[in-house]
Structure 1
Amino acid sequence: MSCDTRLARLLHVLVHMDLRGGTTTSATLAQMLHTNEVVVRRTMAALRTAGMVTSTGGRNGGWSLVKALNTITARDVYEAISHGAVFTIGPAHDNAACPVERAANKLVVDAMHDGEKAMLEYLGTRLLSDFAAEIRAR
């Protein structure tokens, strides 16, 4: 089963943009992420919609940070991405009349809920500026 890597990639991109003075091109990002420019533009559109970046078309166009990294949390980036479930596990639907299945499903759903809540709380405490400072310190 494949993982959704967009959050890690977008965190990577935003910090790189900051380190590069706040602007870059789709071509540069595509090269950095080992993908093509169309994928970059489609993915970056979520950040543009969320007001974190802006884009300029044309020969000298590219992406620019609109918000400072000290105003963006990892949770903000996560929430900008349209995504499905955080976890790939889920409840079973083999026999809804079975009380054991219902109990097992409740355990799984409760664990998923608590895990997602903890993850979102953690991401909400991580400013991208702190992440960038850790990188600069290395």
Structure 2
Amino acid sequence: MKSDSRLSSVLHALLHMAEQDQPMTSGALADCLSTNPVVVRRTMGLLRDAGLVTSDRGHAGGWRIAADLSRVTLLHLHEALGEPAIFAIGNRNERPECLVEQAVNAALADAISEAEAVLLERFAHVTLADLATDFARRHAQQRRTRKV
């Protein structure tokens, strides 16, 4: 099963957008993410539906963050993306007749469920503002290092 990198991509795009004083086009965001503008539009559309971004058409148009960075958590974004599976681990067969496989499925399901709950709880406490602050710190440190 292929991993779903949309949350990571959305975070990357939103942090680029937060640094801009103007809207960013799907093309510009696609360049930042090394992807296709259609992928950006489709993903940003989900965030627009959740009220997290807005879009304007025309020459000066593009995507803009519509929410307070300190109020948007990773959990909000995960939910806006349709709550994709957290882990790519799964059962070999969802309805096995074999009792061994039933025991394996039960053990895996319990462990995955517990791990997912811990991760989602953490997502609820990390905001876009936290990530923007970390980026600013890293950027300042890089500038200081380059000057030396």
Q: TM-score scaled to structure 2, two decimals?
A: 0.85
| Number of the residue aligned with 1:53 | 53
Matched, 1:109 2:115: no
Distance 1:39 1:95 in 2: 35
Over 3 Å counting, the alpha-carbon distance change for 1:95 and 1:25 in structure 2 is closer
Structure 2, unaligned runs of 5 or more = 139-148
Query: Shift of residue 84 of structure 1?
Result: 4.0
CA RMSD of aligned residues (A): 1.7
Tell me the matched-pair count.
Answer: 138
What does the per-residue CA deviation read over 1:61-104, in whole Å, with 9 as the maximum and x for residues that have no partner?
10111101001001111111025422222123287333222111
Over 3 Å counting, the alpha-carbon distance change for 1:95 and 1:109 in structure 2 is closer
Over 3 Å counting, the alpha-carbon distance change for 1:52 and 1:23 in structure 2 is same
Over 3 Å counting, the alpha-carbon distance change for 1:108 and 1:22 in structure 2 is farther
| Number of the residue aligned with 2:63 | 63
Over 3 Å counting, the alpha-carbon distance change for 1:79 and 1:94 in structure 2 is closer
Tell me if the contact between 2:23 and 2:60 (Cα under 8 Å) persists in the aligned partners. Answer: no
| Number of the residue aligned with 2:128 | 128
Structure 1, unaligned runs of 5 or more = none
Over 3 Å counting, the alpha-carbon distance change for 1:7 and 1:36 in structure 2 is same
Query: Shift of residue 40 of structure 1?
Result: 0.8
Distance 1:87 1:120 in 2: 12
Over 3 Å counting, the alpha-carbon distance change for 1:117 and 1:12 in structure 2 is same
Three-state SS of the structure 2 residue aligned to 1:69 is: coil
Q: TM-score scaled to structure 1, two decimals?
A: 0.91
| Number of the residue aligned with 1:19 | 19
Over 3 Å counting, the alpha-carbon distance change for 1:99 and 1:72 in structure 2 is same
Over 3 Å counting, the alpha-carbon distance change for 1:96 and 1:34 in structure 2 is closer
Tell me if the contact between 1:95 and 1:101 (Cα under 8 Å) persists in the aligned partners. Answer: no
Letter in 2 for 1:63: W
What does the per-residue CA deviation read over 1:20-78, in whole Å, with 9 as the maximum and x for residues that have no partner?
13631111101111112111101111110110000111222101111010010011111
Percent identity of equivalent pairs: 41
Distance 2:63 2:36 in 1: 15
| Number of the residue aligned with 1:10 | 10
Tell me if the contact between 1:47 and 1:80 (Cα under 8 Å) persists in the aligned partners. Answer: yes
Deviates more, 1:53-62 or 1:16-25: 16-25
